[in-house]
C-alpha cells in the first residue's frame, strides 16, 4: 500500500471516530453530574507508571467505569475489587475502568498535596488488590502542555467518595451513583453493564 493511501485511510478513520463521538477528548462545557452527561477529558497521573495522561481519551470508544474516591475511605477498596470483577466478566464488551483518588472534604474534591507519596501508596494498593486497570490521582496543577484540559475538580461535580460512573462507548454516562454499605448500588451498576 502506498503512503498516500495510508494517509487517506488514517484521515478517514479519524473522521469517522470524531463523527461518532469516539474521540472522547473535549474540553468540559459544564460540570459533569451524572446520567445523560458525557465523560470529559481531564489529566491524571497514573500511580503505577507516573505517566500524566487523559484516561477518558485513552479509553474513548470503549464502555468505561470511572470510580472516584477519597484516599482515606477504606470502603472504596471493596468497590474497586467489585469493579475488577465486572471488568473481568465483561471482556467481550471491552469494558474498561479506572480509579481516581483525591481528597473529598465538605463536598469538594481536591488533589492530594503530597503527590509522590500518594502515587507510591496507590500503586501499592493497586498491587494489593490485584487490579488490572489504572489507579490514578489528579495532579495539583497542569503543565503548559496540558493547559487545554479542564482540571478534574472544575469538570466534574463529585461531592462524595465512592462515586461511580459508567459510560457507554460514546462516553455518555448511563449510570452514576455513590456506592454504599449495601450491595444495592453495585447490583444496579452490574445491571447497567449488562445492558451495554
Mean pLDDT, range 86-115, rounded to an integer:
95
Statement: residue 17 has pLDDT above 70? no
The length of the chain, given as a count of residues:
196
Q: Are 151 and 138 in contact (CB under 8 A)?
A: yes
Task: Give residue 170's pLDDT.
Answer: 95
Read off the pTM. Answer: 0.84
Q: Residues 156, 158, 162, 167: is their CA dihedral positive or negative?
A: negative
CA 52, CA 108: separation in Å to the nearest integer?
23
Task: Give residue 75's pLDDT.
Answer: 93
Which domains does the chain carry?
24-194 (3.40.30.10)
Of 151, 152, 161, 163, the residue nearest 189 (C-alpha)? 163
Cβ neighbours of 123 (radius 10 Å): 16
Q: Are 70 and 160 in contact (CB under 8 A)?
A: no
Task: Give residue 29's pLDDT.
Answer: 63
CA 73, CA 91: separation in Å to the nearest integer?
28
Task: Give residue 34's pLDDT.
Answer: 87
Of 72, 114, 65, the residue nearest 93 (C-alpha)? 65
pLDDT tens digit string along 25-81? 555 567 888 899 999 999 999 999 999 999 999 998 999 999 999 999 999 999 999
pLDDT tens digit string along 135-190? 999 999 999 999 999 999 999 999 999 999 999 999 999 999 999 878 899 999 99
Task: Give residue 27's pLDDT.
Answer: 57
Amino acid at each position: 500500500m502506498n503512503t498516500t493511501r495510508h494517509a487517506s485511510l488514517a484521515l478517514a478513520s479519524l473522521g469517522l471516530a470524531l463523527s461518532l463521538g469516539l474521540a472522547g477528548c473535549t474540553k468540559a462545557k459544564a460540570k459533569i453530574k451524572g446520567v445523560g452527561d458525557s465523560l470529559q477529558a481531564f489529566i491524571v497521573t497514573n500511580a503505577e507508571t507516573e505517566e500524566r495522561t487523559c484516561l477518558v481519551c485513552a479509553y474513548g470508544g470503549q464502555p468505561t467505569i470511572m470510580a472516584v474516591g477519597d484516599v482515606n475511605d477504606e470502603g472504596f477498596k471493596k468497590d474497586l475489587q467489585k469493579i475488577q470483577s465486572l471488568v473481568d466478566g465483561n471482556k467481550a464488551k471491552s469494558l474498561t475502568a479506572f480509579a481516581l483518588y483525591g481528597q473529598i472534604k465538605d463536598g469538594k474534591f481536591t488533589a492530594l498535596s503530597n503527590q509522590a507519596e500518594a502515587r507510591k501508596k496507590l500503586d501499592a494498593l493497586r498491587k494489593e488488590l490485584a487490579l488490572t486497570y489504572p489507579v490514578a490521582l489528579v495532579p495539583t496543577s497542569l503543565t503548559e502542555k496540558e493547559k487545554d484540559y479542564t482540571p478534574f475538580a472544575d469538570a466534574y461535580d463529585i461531592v462524595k467518595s465512592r462515586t461511580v460512573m459508567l459510560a457507554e462507548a460514546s462516553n455518555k454516562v448511563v449510570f452514576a451513583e455513590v456506592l454504599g454499605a449495601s450491595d444495592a448500588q453495585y447490583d444496579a451498576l452490574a445491571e447497567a453493564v449488562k445492558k451495554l
